[in-house]
Amino acid sequence: MLKKILLGIFVAVLLLLGVILAQPDQFKVTRAATINAPAEAVFSQLNDFQKWNAWSPWGKLDPGMKETFSGPPSGAGSVYEWAGNKDVGRGRMTILESHPHDTLRIRLEFIEPFASEAATDFVLQPEGAATRVTWTMSGQNDFLSKTMCLFMGGMDKMIGPDFEKGLRQLRSVSEKPL
């Protein structure tokens, strides 16, 4: 009887491992919004990490978060590092490419609670007097992230609502008169 129970547990663990390993090797989360402001106004909020706390969905999760800014104040080479509570962890963002009023490409490195790396892109498209902003994050799913995605509904479900909130807040700060 004990052998049958152990065999059943072994088979269940193998099946679970198989399901985890079958999860996608890559993820991509994309959200977009139209902001009633010119691309210049929106881009200025994105291109300067010191402005992110005004709209970032994660900026206010830890009022005691330690922040460090280095490199140029904005644009390519600008670096933002943070260390905070369990809600924000520890990480680093570096602007890799900055094409004014058009595209911003960022390397996002999470250090704690789990090490991972992702690419984050913002693409701005003028629509008359407004700007369409598309925010995308993509990266590799390792075994741990595949497991988390399996039980938490995937990266889109985990991060998508934060992107939506961030875009609403970006709209709010970008649409304010100067």
Q: Are strands 130-140 and 26-35 parallel, antiparallel or unpaired?
A: antiparallel
The pLDDT of residue 133: 98
Q: Does residue 126 sit within a domain?
A: yes
CA separation (Å) from 50 to 27, 76, 130, 177? 28, 14, 24, 19
The pLDDT of residue 14: 75
Which tens digit of pLDDT belongs to each residue from 12-45?
Answer: 777 877 776 777 778 899 999 999 999 999 999 9
pLDDT band at 178 (very low <50, low <70, confident <90, very high): low
Question: Integer distance in angstroms from the first to the last C-alpha of the chain?
Answer: 75
Q: What is the mean pLDDT of residues 129-151?
A: 83
The pLDDT of residue 75: 96
Please calculate the CA angle 155-33-83 and round it to the nearest 5 degrees: 50
Q: Does residue 139 sit within a domain?
A: yes
The pLDDT of residue 149: 61
| CA–CA separation, 27 and 25 (whole Å) | 7
Q: Does residue 1 sit within a domain?
A: no
pLDDT band at 102 (very low <50, low <70, confident <90, very high): very high
Q: Does residue 12 sit within a domain?
A: no
Q: Does residue 21 sit within a domain?
A: no
Q: Does residue 68 sit within a domain?
A: yes
| CA–CA separation, 160 and 91 (whole Å) | 19
Domain residue limits at 139: 26-174
Q: What residue has token string 């152990």?
A: 6
Q: Does residue 105 sit within a domain?
A: yes
Residue 58 pLDDT exceeds 80: yes
Residue 11 pLDDT exceeds 80: no
CATH number at residue 102: 3.30.530.20
Q: Does residue 140 sit within a domain?
A: yes
The pLDDT of residue 150: 66
For the chain, the average pLDDT equals 89
| CA–CA separation, 178 and 175 (whole Å) | 9
Question: What single-letter amino acid sits at 111?
Answer: I
Number of domains in the chain: 1
